[in-house]
Structure 1
Amino acid sequence: MAGKESSSVPSTPLLKDELDIVIPTIRNLDFLEMWRPFFRPYHLIIVQDGDPTKTIKVPEGFDYELYNRNDINRILGPKANCISFKDSACRCFGYMDPSGKEINALEQHIKNLLSPSTPYFFNTLYDPYQTGADFVRGYPFSLREGAPTAVSHGLWLNIPDYDAPTQLVICDHLGLGVKTGLPYIWHSKASNPFVNLKKEYKGIFWQEELIPFFQSVALPKDCTSVQKCYIELSKQVREKLAKIDPYFTKLADAMVTWIEAWDELNPSGAAAGAANGTAK
């Protein structure tokens, strides 16, 4: 963790009973010791990638659940194929929920989720809702209330993750915002870039068609929830991207399956729209 300002752990943790922290991993979680002051009040959902017979060690004192491939197969049954493995996308199961000084990155993410975003007009002074910042001259007054924040992206300080633009069409359609920036984290990369290249090289070519797809995609007005938007997006992925590679047909199927699995595991929220910053 690195940053310019120190931040103490709040005496009453924000969203303590509403927030889970999802961690995908293929190795022991010794790094949690560095995050103990910030993560200990919260419930952890750990999703193990790789060999399910391998024992992942978690430091004592944390409230957590740990799921591996076998657990996911048992819980989701035939729908388990919607969870991708051998990459960090296995974290998707966790979302279903069954100056060099230290900063509290978790607290910053929570603050991001609890404050508005500015998706409709770019403010050159980031973030206008943070203490000490403000809207710059020329920013429309009619847009200064912002939009509810649905996603908080941090950034790595030493390995900027800027390879491709993020096109979050569902958030745009539903009038939700995304914050990208704070908290900034020093990333100690454990993966092999040459191994990653073998896994990701197709995406380098695919993105030349994917980016225009997301730039032009439109969702109908009757898509009033995240679920409906995602299902509609899956139809367009199948219709317009399947010609690139059979992978996109499989992806479209998995998108539908993921929503079906979500609705099964979260029946009370199946018909609900996206909430501002809800973590569960």
Structure 2
Amino acid sequence: MAETSASPTLLLKDELDIVIPTIRNLDFLEMWRPFFQPYHLIIVQDGDPSKIIKVPGGFDYEIYNRNDINRILGPKASCISFKDSACRCFGYLVSKKKYIFTIDDDCFVAKDPSGKEINALQQHIKNLLAPSTPFVFNTLYDPYREGTDFVRGYPFSLREGVPTAVSHGLWLNIPDYDAPTQLVKPLEKNTRFVDAVMTIPKGTLFPMCGMNLAFNRELIGPAMYFGLMGDGQPIGRYDDMWAGWCTKVSTLLTEHFLSLSVVCDHMGWGVKTGLPYIWHSKASNPFVNLKKEYKGIYWQEELIPFFQSAILPKDCTTVQKCYIELSKQVRAKLGKVDEYFIKLADAMVTWVEAWDELNQTGKSIEVPNGSAK
């Protein structure tokens, strides 16, 4: 059974930031207090920067609005989306921690089948700290969880696994459906609790959802860009999926490069999905969603083959180099689909430049609202 606990875990207390995008008061944190209070929060306020966002007392946090983003990034602020949850990736930029957990403000604490509250953050940390197995699928899923192991026939040479870059959690209650599926299944709820964690196999893309997500910022951070969405853009609700596709490709290609290196025979990165579950409390309006998604629904039939066939040269030895090269291919190939992708390719380059600028050794950032307790 998945790890559940009503008491907070202090795992990675000084190595992990919780990033929350929001336009409203964060009353939902009261439910998460036993699990989140020991950790530092980075709150990215979307929408009207003059609005005051109230945070329950007792949390250690910093909050950034659009004025702060413009002040810190200057012209490079153009790569951060406005009026869309994609703005959360600004929190990834300013964090100085090794790990990130990001969650939406309509996600509450779920319960396992026994009725115990699920400490989602604790499970994400366990996923990230345990290796992944992207090269051969283990039919008992994650072999590093208690009570399981590698099955007969699994190569012993691969049983050490590889570092885990991303932990992708799931949702009870309201599933993460697109607008057409919402419209034909308006009453559908996800009530199935599947007690499993698995590594997504190498070469397989997946639709990443950003509402319950953790990742190793030091490994994959420069590729965790949520694109250009929302105000002034022709598309929305594809921010997390864009990041997921880019991240998976960058992960696979870096795996390929590193597997050629003499440093470590099986060094590479993995992506896990499954546990932990959160309780997704409300469904967004499917008609509003359709307006945001309709071009993406059409474009994704071009996007998936693009990512499936993407090949990066061997001199892409860092995530930044992989991402810059990928931006060139986005411009050359997807730019023919729509001029939006030319703009997106430019934003990808700007994002990497901003990442490198803010993550220089010794670079400090003025916290706009200080650290509140």
Fold match by TM threshold 0.5:
yes
Aligned-partner residue type, residue 34 of structure 2: P
- Say whether 1:170 aligns with 2:250: yes
Q: Residue 138 of structure 2 corresponds to which residue in structure 1?
A: 123
Alpha-carbon distance between aligned partners in 2 of 1:88 and 1:143, rounded to the nearest angstrom:
38
Q: Scaled by the length of structure 2, what TM-score is found? A: 0.68
Deviation (angstroms), 1:57: 1.1
Question: Which consecutive residues of structure 2, in runs of 5 or more, have no partner in the other structure?
Answer: 96-112, 179-204, 208-244, 255-267, 364-373
For residues 220-258 of structure 1, what are the alpha-carbon distances to aligned partners after superposition, in whole Å with 9 as ceiling and x for unaligned?
111111111111111111111011111111111111001
- Say whether 1:181 aligns with 2:222: no
Deviation (angstroms), 1:20: 0.6
Aligned-partner residue type, residue 136 of structure 1: V
Q: Residue 138 of structure 1 corresponds to which residue in structure 2?
A: 153
Q: Which moved more, 1:260-269 or 1:145-154?
A: 260-269
Runs of 4 or more, structure 1, over 6 Å off, are none
Alpha-carbon distance between aligned partners in 2 of 1:242 and 1:83, rounded to the nearest angstrom:
20
- Say whether 1:16 aligns with 2:31: no
Deviation (angstroms), 1:85: 2.0
Q: Residue 90 of structure 1 corresponds to which residue in structure 2?
A: 87
Aligned-partner residue type, residue 329 of structure 2: Q
**Do 2:6 and 2:116's aligned partners in 1 also have CA atoms closer than 8 Å?**
no
Q: Residue 162 of structure 2 corresponds to which residue in structure 1?
A: 147
Q: Which moved more, 1:258-267 or 1:188-197?
A: 188-197
1:158–1:124 distance in 2 versus 1, CA, 3 Å: farther
- Say whether 1:266 aligns with 2:359: yes
Deviation (angstroms), 1:141: 2.2
Deviation (angstroms), 1:107: 0.8
For residues 59-84 of structure 1, what are the alpha-carbon distances to aligned partners after superposition, in whole Å with 9 as ceiling and x for unaligned?
11100011111110111000001111
Q: Residue 109 of structure 2 corresponds to which residue in structure 1?
A: none
Query: Matches of residues 93-242 of structure 1 in structure 2 within 5 Å?
Result: 93-97=90-94, 99=113, 100-161=115-176, 165-166=206-207, 167=245, 168-174=248-254, 175-189=268-282, 191-242=284-335
Alpha-carbon distance between aligned partners in 1 of 2:292 and 2:23, rounded to the nearest angstrom:
16
Q: Which moved more, 1:199-208 or 1:90-99?
A: 90-99
Alpha-carbon distance between aligned partners in 1 of 2:64 and 2:304, rounded to the nearest angstrom:
33
Alpha-carbon distance between aligned partners in 1 of 2:295 and 2:41, rounded to the nearest angstrom:
33
Alpha-carbon distance between aligned partners in 1 of 2:282 and 2:340, rounded to the nearest angstrom:
27
For residues 2-39 of structure 1, what are the alpha-carbon distances to aligned partners after superposition, in whole Å with 9 as ceiling and x for unaligned?
x965324356x111111111111121111100111111
Aligned-partner residue type, residue 172 of structure 1: L
1:158–1:133 distance in 2 versus 1, CA, 3 Å: farther
1:269–1:260 distance in 2 versus 1, CA, 3 Å: farther
Q: Scaled by the length of structure 1, what TM-score is found? A: 0.89
Aligned-partner residue type, residue 156 of structure 1: W
Alpha-carbon distance between aligned partners in 2 of 1:184 and 1:49, rounded to the nearest angstrom:
25
Deviation (angstroms), 1:202: 0.7
Alpha-carbon distance between aligned partners in 2 of 1:142 and 1:85, rounded to the nearest angstrom:
47
Aligned residues: 267
Alpha-carbon distance between aligned partners in 1 of 2:357 and 2:125, rounded to the nearest angstrom:
27
Aligned-partner residue type, residue 217 of structure 1: A
Aligned-partner residue type, residue 210 of structure 1: L
Compute the RMSD of aligned alpha carbons. 2.0
Question: Which consecutive residues of structure 1, in runs of 5 or more, have no partner in the other structure?
Answer: 271-280
**Do 1:109 and 1:152's aligned partners in 2 also have CA atoms closer than 8 Å?**
yes
For residues 84-123 of structure 1, what are the alpha-carbon distances to aligned partners after superposition, in whole Å with 9 as ceiling and x for unaligned?
1222111110001251320111111111111111111222
> Per the alignment, in what secondary structure is the counterpart of residue 179 of structure 1?
strand
Percentage of pairs with the same residue: 82
Alpha-carbon distance between aligned partners in 1 of 2:116 and 2:20, rounded to the nearest angstrom:
24
